[in-house]
Amino acid sequence: MIELRQINKTYGSGAGVVQALKDIDLTVRKAEIFGIIGHSGAGKSTLIRTINLLERPTSGQVMVDGTDITSLPHHRLQERRRSIGMIFQHFNLLSSLSVHDNIAFPLRLSKQPKAETERRVKELIGLVGLEDHADKHPAQLSGGQKQRVGIARALATNPKVLLCDEATSALDPQTTQSILALLLEINRKLHITIVLITHEMQVIRAICDRVAVLDGGMIVESGDVASVFLKPQHRTTKDFVAQASDGSEAYAGLIDKERGKRTQVKITFIGKQTYEPVLYETMKEMNVPFAILQGTISRLKDTPYGQLIVELHAAGEEADRTLTALRDQGLDVEVLTVG
């Protein structure tokens, strides 16, 4: 659906040149929700704005639905942009227009018939839950309501892609959850491809299928959310995961290492195994006593997962055999300390 090929973006020249993006290769599949996460200054906004060429890359290709849009003449690029909606952190609504007219604005720009515009606006107001606010102006709305208007406006021209530029950063946690739920509903109901950027791992966890981690203008890690979240490799990714952790990593550092022949491990369950007695049955078969020191069950979008800090009353070869048996069950097992 979207493919970025060797995207580079530089600003300035000579000694003052700044490279905002470096050698970006990225593929977003049709109808998925793809997250891009990075700290401030990592290049997130520049990257997402290259997808609709609001930022034209210094080099590289942007492929959208099989077309290299970097090679299109201006009038064809304008046409193509109608298939790419965008919502912004600070809403960018027209303060002099009502909710109805803000949503209608892109339809009027594209000279849609009045009856079709009215039908579409009514449909979108219902989709985003603003039926009682159609005649209000932005100043009369809450932050969450303003973002709902922004989403409806971005959907007005029936885009195939929706770009979200820090769409929840200006919202409180409860409102953020409602906006994320709305984006997820839109993705599932309309099968729109969504690309969002954020600096919050909780946003990625809640609705994304896959994620890319951006650091210093480069993608340093990418993959499905469960793999990246539960097995982070890069330092930056680990920082973000720590933001959303349940504290088990901090606990692991406090485990008493002076307890004799015992081994402490972190065991990760993904999917249906989260709710099955895999640990109990394996340990019973191995005849190894164990204690659960800490545990949590949560979800990554639609995928349940569990993480346990477990102390095995075993060491040496006995512990090694037990760890092998657990891994043979498809569990991810990380040894924290060995007694």
Beta bridge partners of 266: 309, 334
User: pTM above the 0.75 mark?
Assistant: yes
Q: Can you count the helices (H) and strands (E) in the chain?
A: 12, 14
Segment 186-238, tens digit of pLDDT: 999 999 999 999 999 999 999 999 999 999 999 999 999 998 988 899 999 99
Between CA 199 and CA 183 the distance in angstroms is 17
Segment 177-194, tens digit of pLDDT: 999 999 999 999 999 999
Q: Other CB atoms closer than 10 Å to residue 165's CB: what's the count?
A: 20
pLDDT band at 13; cut points 50, 70, 90: confident
Could you give the 3-state DSSP secondary structure of residue 235? helix
Domain 248-338 of CATH type 3.30.70.260: yes
Extents of the domains making up the chain: 2-243, 248-338
Q: In the CATH hierarchy, which top-level class contains the domain 2-243?
A: alpha beta
The reported pLDDT for the residue numbered 250 is 47
Which tokens is 122 given? 């009514």
